[in-house]
Structure formats: structure tokens, C-alpha cells
Structure 1
Amino acid sequence: MTNTQEQQAATAESAPAAADPRPGRVALWVLGAAAVASLAGVVYSLYRLTGMADGLDDTGVMLLANSLFSPIIVTVFAGAVAGAVTPRLVKGPQKALAVLGSLVLGVVTGAIAYLGFGVDADIALVLGLVLLVSAVVGGLFALPRRTVTVVAGLSAVLLLLAFMFGRGFYEAASSVSLFSDPLDEYGALGTAIPFIAGIACGVCAFLYLRHKKAGVKLLGHLLAGAIPGAVWLVSTVLAQIGVEVLLNVGLNQVAPLDEAFLALSFQWQYNGSMTALFAGALCAVFAYGFLLPKPAKAQSKDARKS
């Protein structure tokens, strides 16, 4: 009897280590390549859209403010990826290396943004600092001990970014509106797309964890499914702060119509991020409860009771 208890204790001690697999190299390479490509693309697009050889006028400042959310959410995502990849490349404490990786990425991104808008020193400084802080905040998402859960959530964030890109591409390329009024279009898209994106992100996170056979419990699935919406929500907060600072630095006065447009835009971002957060988390939890088989121990206990 004593030997059996000792064996069970030894098995319980070794179970967490055995059930803590590392994410595959393919997933890390895909996330790293996607982070670099999306970050380079969005910073370049921002410069092409608003960059002016003689500096930004009032219209350019408003364009920059309205376009600031995209580079911020991509930088948060890239910072999280850097935080997850760096401990795999360099030996040392995982949390310290995660913060260091995101910090280095933020410094590089902020410096590139500063040089791109260097004609307007104040605006360039604000933009560089906003992207630096965004990368460091993104690195905080890589701090959980189980990297496989973080990578599952970041894979879902990549899917969320694809949804956002597709929505923007549709709005830019479509010349025929499916709705009779722009506000009706705003309301329909603002309600449906975040919910659909959240469900897709929750399914993506669950499928990754199931494929890895990581042995992640309920809270791990909840975290992985909630990461995309959390990244979206944090990016919205950073974007709102960055826009306020940018407008205070670059403009003497903001037109009421521009203020109303920014308020409506941020309202949609907050509502969409929270919808995606809860939809992704609940979808991952439901998938964990209904699609994963019961553990062998639970089945044996049920058989004994019967």
C-alpha cells in the first residue's frame, strides 16, 4: 500500500513537467514572420498615408490620429510574439527575456517611426513612444509560464488581424453598400464581425491546444481564447491615449465633427474588443468541455460507482 502511494505521488509530481510541451518551431517561425511582415507593412503604410516632406498639416495630423489604431495593435501583437520567441533563442529567465525581447522590438520600431516622421519632431517623438510602449505592453502577454497557451492565443490574434484586414479591404474595395445607410452598416458590422471573429479565435486556440496535446486545463483554454480580445482591448486603450496626446501636440483645436468621429470609432473598438474577448473565451471553454474526451481516471471512477 505504501509503495503504491509513493508511486502515485511520484507520478503526480512528474505529470506537470510531462504535460508542459513547448510550442513547435513551425508555429514560432510563422508567428515571427507574420509579426515582422505585418509590422513593417503597417508602419510603411502609415508613412505613405500621412508622411509629408514639409511636415504634417492639420489634415495630416487628423489622418495620423484616425490611422493610429492599426500600428498599435500590430505592435502589441509583435511585442507579444517577441516575448514568446526570445526565451527560445536565449537561455535565461523566461519572464526577464520576454520583457527584454519586447523592449528591443519596441525600441527598433519606435526609432523607425521617429525617423520616418522626423520632420515633425514632436509628432515623431509621440509616435515613437506610443509604439515603444505598445511593444512592451504586448510583451506582458508572454509572461505566463506555459508558453504553449500563449502561442495558442497569439495564433488566434493572427486570425483576428486577418479578420480586421479583410474588413478594411472590403470597405475600401466595395463600391456597393449592402446597407441603405452608413450608420446601419456601422451597426450591423460592429455587432456581427467581432462576435464571429471571437468565435473563430476561440476555435483556433482550442484546435492548437488539442493538436499539441498539451494537457491544458480549463483556465488555460480560457486564457488562450481571451487573448485576442484582450489584445484588441489593450490596443484600444493605448490608441485612445496616443490619439489624445498626438492631437494636443499637433493641433490647436479639433473640429467637433472630428471629435464625434473619433468618439464613435473608439466606441466601436471598445464594444468589439469586449465582444471578441467574451466570445473567444466562452467558445474555447465550451469546446474544452464538450469536445475533449473525459480523463481515464474520471471514467474509471464512474465505472466503479456503477
Structure 2
Amino acid sequence: MPSPEPEPQEAPAASAGESADPVHEAPRPGRPALWVLGLAAALSLGGVVYSLYRVLGMAEGLDDTGVMLLANNLFSPIIVTAFAGAVGGAVAPRLILKRRSKGPRRAVAALGFTVVGIIAAVVAYLSFSVDADIALALALVLFGSALVGGLFALPARSVTVVAGLSATLLLLLSMYARGVLQRTSTVSLFSDPLDEYGALGSAVPFITGLACGLCAFLYLRRKKAGVKLLGHLLAGAIPGAIWLVSTVLAQIGVEAVLNIGLEEVSALDTAFLALSFQWQYNGSMTAMFAGAFCAVLAYGLLMPKAPKAKAAKSS
């Protein structure tokens, strides 16, 4: 007598905590890169505020010459604070949230760059508190710079953000090196002082932008994060974009400082500031274009092709 056929049984349902498909986590920036960026941001922020304090000599407040010196040197603390705010926004989620946590990453990032802004504002106000009005204006400008810079840390791909910030660190180092070279060298980089603001001066931001774009690409390639074309475009453009928004903030801050500290600005000082800001705008947009272009070009030429693409091409 034949044995009865076994009844078909249904496969056990997957539990709520399991999924049929494996979960692929998005790559996250490594802690060494974040530590380097955080340390660089802290040192550069403290150094630029201290350097500004020494240049101005705030023992007895600011006279008219000191106000103009502050206006002419305001760009450096602003771009450094914007960079520090972006770093704070990138570092905070990595340190606070657990690896598998789906917590409010952007809220934690906002907390990070807000804390950086508060620290920068407090340090600036205490350093220049001899002149309360100037100190308050400077503190508000730096606080706003940290908030605006922190917005660059909000994109979902944190690896792309860190790649762009690594390239921004290279940009800041090149600015610092250029300033040191111009102060210490007896030979000018330009045959005519106005060349610094002309076509010859535009070559420096372009070359720097290319280096920043290559730096961003190399970081993304080393991380093997699977970032596509738009991610490389964003990472390469971040240094120039931070430079651009810092120039806008510097122009606002200079107007505020001059309105507080001076009753009238000479025509020569006005012309110099206008020429300086024009160069900053041109340089930032040149660096942003060059960085994005280099990162995208490197992605197309140097990124290894996927095995499927190679197989399809050979068949």
C-alpha cells in the first residue's frame, strides 16, 4: 500500500527583525580622517583668532586704523570658521550616533556646527571685549559663518562631505602657504601688484581648485564608497563653494564693522576693498569650477570600470 504523500508546508515567515535581502550599509568616513579634520579645524580657528588679535593690538581698543585692519583681515577668520562649522557637522553624527543607528543624523549635525559657532563667537567676543560693539559684531559674524558652513555637512552621503572637507583643508593650507610666502619672500609672485587681481592671479585659484578636486577624488577612491558622478562633482566643488559663501559673509561683516567703527571710509579704502572682494569672488568661482571639473574628469578616466561593463565590452 503506497504511503500517503506529505502535505506541502509553507515556508516560515521571516521575523520582523530579519529581511530577505542583505542590508548594505552606506560607507562611513573613518575616524582617522575625522580626527585630522577636527584637530585641523580647532587649531586653525584658535590660530586665526589669536593672529587677528595680535595684528590689531586690542589692549586699548580700536582706532580708525585698527578698524580698517580688521576689515581687511576679516576674511581669514570667516572662512576658517565656516570650515570648522562644516567639520563639526560632519564629526558630531559619527561620534554620537551608533553605527547601525538610524537616528536624526541631520539634527545631530546641526547640533555639532551650532556648538562650533557658539565656541567661535564666545572666543571672539572675549578676545576683543575691550571694544564691546566691535566684539559683538565679530562674534555674530563668526557664529553665522559656522552655521552657514555647517550646511555643507547636511547631505546624506557623509563620505562625500568628508572628501570635500579634506579638499577644503588643502585649500586653506594653500592660502596660508601663499600668505607666508608673500610676507617672507623678497621676490613678489607678480611682476605688477595689479596682476594679483588679474588673469595671472586667476591662475592660482584654478591650479588650487584642480588640486582640491584631485584630493577629493583620491579620498573617495580610497574609501571605495561607490559614489557616482554627482557625488564626485559635489565633493570637488565644496572647497570653492565654502570660499564663495565665506566671501559673501566677509562682505557683510566688513560693512557691519565699518558702520560701527568708522564714520566715513576713504575712497582709496573703498576701492581697495572692492578690488579685493572682486578677486575673492572670481577666485572662489574659479576654484569651484576647477575642483568639480577635475573630480569628474578623474572619475571618468581613473575610476576602474565595473566587471559587468568590461564583460559586455569584450563580448
Identity within the alignment, %? 73
CA RMSD of aligned residues (A): 1.4
The one-character-per-residue Cα deviations of 1:262-297 (angstroms, maximum 9, x if unpaired) are 001000000000000000001000000011122122
Secondary structure, in 3 states, of the residue corresponding to 2:257?
Answer: helix
The one-character-per-residue Cα deviations of 1:164-220 (angstroms, maximum 9, x if unpaired) are 001111111111225432113443552111000000000000000000011100000
Q: Does the CA-based 8 Å contact 2:209-2:290 persist in structure 1? A: yes
Match of 2:11 in 1: none
Task: Work out which of the residue numbers 256, 263, 266 in structure 2 matches 1:252.
Answer: 263
Distance 2:108 2:218 in 1: 28
Match of 1:171 in 2: 182
Match of 1:190 in 2: 201
Q: Does the CA-based 8 Å contact 1:222-1:284 persist in structure 2? A: yes
Match of 1:126 in 2: 137
Distance 1:22 1:48 in 2: 40
Distance 1:294 1:193 in 2: 33
Match of 2:252 in 1: 241
Matched, 1:52 2:47: no
Task: Work out which of the residue numbers 88, 92, 95 in structure 2 matches 1:82.
Answer: 88
Distance 2:191 2:86 in 1: 40
Match of 1:270 in 2: 281
Q: Does the CA-based 8 Å contact 1:107-1:132 persist in structure 2? A: yes
Match for 2:238: what amino acid? I
Q: Which has the higher helix share?
A: 1
Q: Does the CA-based 8 Å contact 1:202-1:282 persist in structure 2? A: yes
Secondary structure, in 3 states, of the residue corresponding to 1:44?
Answer: helix
Greater Rg over alpha carbons, structure? 2
211 and 171 in structure 1: CA distance in 2 versus 1, 3 angstrom threshold: same
The one-character-per-residue Cα deviations of 1:51-82 (angstroms, maximum 9, x if unpaired) are 32221000000000000000000000000000
Distance 1:260 1:74 in 2: 25
| Runs of at least 5 residues in structure 2 that lack an aligned partner in the other structure | 1-19, 98-102
TM-score by length of 1: 0.92
Matched, 1:284 2:295: yes
251 and 30 in structure 1: CA distance in 2 versus 1, 3 angstrom threshold: same
Match of 2:211 in 1: 200
145 and 178 in structure 1: CA distance in 2 versus 1, 3 angstrom threshold: closer
Match for 1:45: what amino acid? S
| Runs of at least 5 residues in structure 1 that lack an aligned partner in the other structure | 1-9
Matched, 1:142 2:153: yes
Distance 1:147 1:210 in 2: 14
Q: Does the CA-based 8 Å contact 1:51-1:117 persist in structure 2? A: no
The one-character-per-residue Cα deviations of 1:119-173 (angstroms, maximum 9, x if unpaired) are 1111111000000000111111000111111000000000000110011111111
Match for 1:137: what amino acid? V
Match of 1:3 in 2: none
Match for 1:28: what amino acid? L
Task: Work out which of the residue numbers 104, 107, 128 in structure 1 matches 2:118.
Answer: 107
